[in-house]
Structure 1
Amino acid sequence: MTDPTLSPIPAPTDPDWTAIGALPIADAGGGLMPLGLATPTLRTLPIYHALGVPGAVPECWAREAVYRRLLTVARRLPAGLGLVVLDAWRPYAVQRYLYDTLMGLIEIRYADHDEAERRHLARAFVSPPSVNAERPSPHLTGGAVDVALCDADGVLLEMGSAFDEACAASHTVHFEHAADSEAARTCRARRRILYHAMIEAGFVNLPSEWWHYSYGDQMWAWYRDTPQALFGPSAPDSLEARFQRSLGLPQVR
């Protein structure tokens, strides 16, 4: 087996969000699964709940196809490494909060930029909130996940930038071109391990975020040159929905 630390991460193709949003969605169905019940090889840290983000949930939820691929990644990692899921399905309220917060800070930092430029800067790190069934925010589908590496004790490893850090170092290939230092080599090796393991399991990466991978959503379909996405908007099952089904009533999410 080829050492993943020796294989460079390929130069990325920036996403064409207009083309991505135009792809049809033939939702393959299937509810969301709680990832916290996974084996010790796959760990979860619901990061937004831990950070106190309003509306964040204390569990990581994803589609079954995503869940099983994450398990595959976790089991194939080199000895001593583990996979940590920081976020997966995300409520609309959280997406709205993240986007509005980042846009507010960008408007302060880049006051000399026009609105289109500021939105472009924000889009690299947070998708505009959308519950539109034809163009949902990726994390609303249960197909997008944010992941990191940890050691055998569950300690998160340094990856060269913090999760959700809106800076150049967060771009997946940053350390393919960074100055050659011991710290840079370590981060480059870890990002390569994570990238190649996720790609081999069928995911695609958002080039501006080393932590963001997708399976089944519109971005995944665009990068894989697939004619349609597999997953539209979703949400964890609720007690109300179960009562509605049992009574034969129309279900409203």
Structure 2
Amino acid sequence: MPSSPSVLPAIPHHPAPDWPRASALPIRDNGERLLPMSLAQAPIRVFPAYSRLGIPGTIDDCFVREGVYRALVAVAQSLPPGIGLIVLDGWRPWRVQQYLFDTLQAAIALRHPELDDESLGERTREFVSIPSTDERAPSPHLTGGAVDVTLCDAIGVPLDMGTLFDEAVPASHTAHFEREYLDERERRVRDNRRLLYRAMCTQGFTNLPSEWWHFDLGDQLWAHFSGRPQAHYGPAALDTIENRWRRQLG
């Protein structure tokens, strides 16, 4: 029987990533293909959040590398009866990353006009990584190794995780509710986060400490947090019929 969320160990408080160090880790791409999570069966549900919000350049599915796909299926199968996994985002086109970064930065600048450029960049990067197509240091979501997920009940209703997905507030930090005095609702949120965190980490994922929903497998951020010498995933692109024909006829 799966463990009850209430007896799961606490989520550790991890520091923010050292981005320059993470971005300097070498990448030896293993060539895994991108797969749509819509192929997966219950208890996985796919809700491409950015597409549903109408953000320009999004696609109406969540693509991930094959190794990530298989690990997510294992996560879903490990959850207690009546609990499912919702995939909210995976591989992200560069233009979507740029849109998210620019939009959040503008919102922070409007709310905090006293911030200088460096501080504004740091605050933005807390929740959205710098857009990059650099083969040596790509944005995590551009690799297909980063994924955003949450939990749901048996009929697909998302569990209470304390904040909304992509909410840029301190309460979104994964370990925010790991404190002594909590009310009943906060304890429930803490237990839900513990369940998601432990299920994902057991299958090899690492978590971005500022986002309870963001996990990595195979990319530079994963290598950084797991102490590995290199990443397995570099920049990836969806296969198109045009690219396929060019390869076949080239």
Same fold, judged at TM 0.5 (above): yes
Summarize deviations over 1:178-233 as a string: whole Å, max 9, x none.
74111101100000000000000000000000000000000000111111100000
Matched, 1:132 2:134: yes
- After superposition, where does 1:136-151 map in structure 2 within 5 Å? 136-151=138-153
Asked whether the equivalents of residues 171 and 210 of structure 1 are also in contact (C-alpha less than 8 Å), the reply is: yes
Residue of structure 2 equivalent to 1:24: 26
Residue of structure 2 equivalent to 1:177: 179
Equivalent of residue 154 in structure 2, options 139, 149, 152: 152
Which letter maps to 1:50?
A: R
Distance in 2, matches of 1:47 and 1:69, equals 21
Asked whether the equivalents of residues 84 and 150 of structure 1 are also in contact (C-alpha less than 8 Å), the reply is: yes
Q: CA RMSD for the aligned pairs? A: 1.1
Residue of structure 1 equivalent to 2:67: 65
Call closer, same or farther: CA 1:120–1:178 in 2, change over 3 Å.
Answer: farther
Asked whether the equivalents of residues 4 and 196 of structure 1 are also in contact (C-alpha less than 8 Å), the reply is: no
- Structure 1 unaligned runs (5+)? none
Residue of structure 2 equivalent to 1:209: 211
Which range is displaced more, 174-183 or 119-128? 174-183
Residue of structure 1 equivalent to 2:248: 246
Shift in Å, 1:4? 4.3
Distance in 2, matches of 1:178 and 1:168, equals 17
Q: TM-score, normalised by structure 1?
A: 0.96
Residue of structure 2 equivalent to 1:97: 99
Residue of structure 2 equivalent to 1:5: 6
Distance in 1, matches of 2:66 and 2:52, equals 24
Which letter maps to 2:136?
A: E
Residue of structure 2 equivalent to 1:110: 112
Residue of structure 1 equivalent to 2:199: 197
> How many residue pairs were aligned?
248
- After superposition, where does 1:33-44 map in structure 2 within 5 Å? 33-44=35-46
Asked whether the equivalents of residues 99 and 126 of structure 1 are also in contact (C-alpha less than 8 Å), the reply is: yes
Summarize deviations over 1:21-57 as a string: whole Å, max 9, x none.
1001000111100110101111100000000001110
Shift in Å, 1:65? 0.3
Asked whether the equivalents of residues 3 and 80 of structure 2 are also in contact (C-alpha less than 8 Å), the reply is: no
- Structure 2 unaligned runs (5+)? none
Q: TM-score, normalised by structure 2?
A: 0.97
